[in-house]
Amino acid sequence: MVEIQPIHVEIEREEDGRILASVPDLPGVMAYGASEEEAVRKVKAIALQVLAEMIESGEEVPAPLKVLFAA
List the CATH number of the domain containing 27: 3.30.160.250
Work out how many domains the chain is built from and give that number.
1
**DSSP calls for 2-61:** EEEPPPP-EEEE-TTS-EEEE-TTSTT-EEEESSHHHHHHHHHHHHHHHHHHHHHTTPPP
pLDDT of residue 69 exceeding 50: no
Q: What is the pLDDT of residue 63?
A: 78
Q: Are 34 and 19 in contact, with CB atoms under 8 Å apart?
A: yes
pLDDT in tens, 1-58: 455 568 899 999 999 999 999 999 999 999 999 999 999 999 999 999 999 899 899 9
Domain span including residue 61? 2-68
pTM: 0.80
